[in-house]
Amino acid sequence: MSETAVIEKTDSPLTKERLIAALRAVGVKKDDTLLVHSALSNLGYVIGAAQSVLEALLETVEDGTIVMPAHTGDNADPAKFKNPPLPEKWHASYKEHYPAFDKETSHLRGMGRIAVQFFAMKDTLRSDHPTVSFTARGALAETITASQPLSPMFGRESPIGRIYEHGGRILLLGASFASCSAFHLSEIMSGVVGRTREQAAIKENGVRRWVTYEDYAYDEADFEEVGNQLPSENVTSSPAGPGEVRLMDARTVIDEAAKIIRGLRTA
């Protein structure tokens, strides 16, 4: 969305102070472990943009942990690319030359300005999955980003699984349920998701190689519907500019979403 369009849909610009008020209104606490999915443009015009949002988060969760996705979705099998698809005649060259994942430097794809700036902040840690890493800072950052299994990438030993185990919560900051990667753990728990083969470029003992591994066939196509079917008492919301802030207990909604996914995909 262009900056002009953002300005036109904004009645009054958001400030860091107003964002802090919105976070507290939904019940964010200073010691929360918080998985944040964000969409800056959906919040309207924010004075200070991503920096103000991050300062609001870190000042509100001053004793807790902030976690964000830091995915590198293009470190994958090019034959599966859809948006846009890659010409088939390029696939072999792509796999030969795509750089190995480096958690210090590999770029974030499609994560948005807030997540990108969070990754760039000093002392932010990153997990080591070559395709679906997560960043974190705060009390549990080392625990959340500790060695992430290649497969299942969203399982109980992943950052999402650790947030689930440590009583964390999920914050949708202008983002829709379609962005809620925690529902991928729900997919695993649903018992109705098939398997697929994935690929990524990694480095082992200083040597780059292309690895193939089996994982679940994750599919976020129905995540918006999954979120909309959550019981209203599971989601606390508050307006933030033209957008919305939504807070959920991770364990509660992941468990509930597993049931919803099972129903949707076996109907």
Beta-bridge mates of residue 248: 170
pLDDT reported for residue 32: 98
Q: What is the pTM of this model?
A: 0.94
Residues (pLDDT < 50) of the chain are: none
pLDDT reported for residue 182: 97
pLDDT reported for residue 11: 80
pLDDT reported for residue 86: 94
CA distance readout (Å), 234 to 46, 52, 224: 28, 28, 15
pLDDT reported for residue 143: 97
pLDDT reported for residue 118: 97
Q: What is the 3-state secondary structure (H, E, C) of the chain?
A: CCHHHHHHCCCCCECHHHHHHHHHHHCCCCCCEEEEEECHHHHCCECCHHHHHHHHHHHHCCCCEEEEECCCCCCCCHHHCCCCCCCHHHHHHHHHHCCCCCCCCCCCCCCCHHHHHHHHCCCCEECCCCCCCEEEEECCHHHHCCCCCCCCCCCCCCHHHHHHHCCCEEEEEECCHHHCCCHHHHHHHHCCCCEEEEEEEEEECCEEEEEEEEEECCCHHHHHHHHHCCCHHHCEEEEECCEEEEEEEHHHHHHHHHHHHHHHHHC
Other CB atoms within 10 A of residue 44 CB:
20
User: Domain residues of the chain, as ranges?
Assistant: 3-266
pLDDT reported for residue 93: 96
pLDDT in tens, 102-160: 999 999 998 899 999 999 999 999 999 999 999 999 999 999 999 999 999 999 999 99
Other CB atoms within 10 A of residue 100 CB:
18
C-alpha of 188 from chain center? 17
Q: Tokens 């976020």 identify what position?
A: 220
Report the b/e string of 212-236 with b at 16+ CB within 10 A.
eeebbebeeebbeebbebbeeeebb
Dihedral sign for Cα atoms in the order 5, 11, 14, 18: negative
pLDDT reported for residue 8: 76
